[in-house]
Amino acid sequence: MKKIAIMTTGGDCSGLNTVINRIVAGAKIRGWDVWGIIDGTDGLCSKPINVMEMNLKTVPIENARLAGSFLCNGHACMMNFERAIAMGRVSEFNKILRDALAKLKLDALVLVGGNGSFSLAWLNREIYRDLSLVCIPKTIDFDIPLTDRTIGFETAVDQLTKYCDQLLLTARSHHRWFIVQTMGRDCGRLALNAGIAVGADAILVPEIKFDVDELVQHIKSVDRDYGIIMVSEGVTLRGHSGRPAEIIARKLTAAGIANRTAFPDYIQRAGDTVAADRILGAKMATCALNAIENNETYVMTALRGSDCVTVPLSEFYAAGDVRADPNIPLVKTTNAYIEPDDPLLHVASDLGVYIGVGE
């Protein structure tokens, strides 16, 4: 009989509870014991270790659709990789985590996280040397390389689309443009997908340069006096500081275009998990359990077409655009971005959406 644990880390998103539920269900069928680590690495640092034995009543099937993580993702005030690195206590922190996992006597750990969590897991892989480490990618940013989707992305797109649908109604009533600033960090996939879904007249993403004057002229050329301008939070404007939506709003106001800014913020991380994310969660949970059965370690589940496969964490780390992490000194994180040949960019251009210079 195997003893496995599941841990969620990093930013929140919908779909985490679906993954937890499916991991528990699949493990129980295999006759395995399943433990949940509460609050991620915080739980491993706690004395006693903050864990709970899990069964199908822990996260009932009717609650698996809910946003957030039943296991929680940790406290901002606790020691974590970011603080340990900043304080020069990485070796000490790694030893605490390694000793805690050894005390739990696990055969495997399922780590559900984003590109930062996976990059740190690979760079500090000695922590997991005595067990099988299987990672499941989740992030609304969809900035993890080597997978066609990440858990939480589809629900975030749906949440953002519904939000903009309501804005369009008041936009029409007041003859106004709404500049909606999305999450996504320095990846524009969330803004691009939601922008296409809602029918935005302009979609601005970090990957594509744009000219504010061109944007203003484009909005003036639209044959109505209201609509949505979708702006990813990672967009920068040379010579300006502050939130990009507010900078663009000032430019539009100066040009005589009535507008308002809108910041959906954390509703993008919330909402009942949509069917696509539930199906993806089930696929990735099954893939992770199969990997554990096959004694695989240091791997990540990845969607390839309609199939779910495992890829080595070494390939994940090497495949992306490895850059210094702004939040974790001395650490590099691998990222994925919108590719120049992304089909949705061509869709946007064909529909007359302003996406930047040289569209």
Among all residues, which ones are annotated catalytic? 141
Residue 159's nearest CA partner among 12, 274, 277 is 274
HSE value, Cβ hemisphere, 13 Å, CA-based, for 183: 21
SS3 77: coil
Residue 299 phi/psi, 5-degree rounding, is -130, 160
> CA 286, CA 292: separation in Å to the nearest integer?
10
Q: List, as one string, the DSSP characters of 200-256.
A: -SEEE-TTS---HHHHHHHHHHSSSS-EEEEEETT---TT--S-HHHHHHHHHHHTT
* Contact predicate 24/32, CB 8 Å: no
Give the bridge partners for 45, in sequence order. none
> How would you list the strands of the sheet with 132-137, edge to edge?
51-53, 33-37, 3-8, 108-113, 132-137, 299-304, 307-312
State the Cα–Cα distance between residues 229 and 199, nearest whole angstrom: 9
Q: Which two three-digit tokens encode residue 197?
A: 């879904």
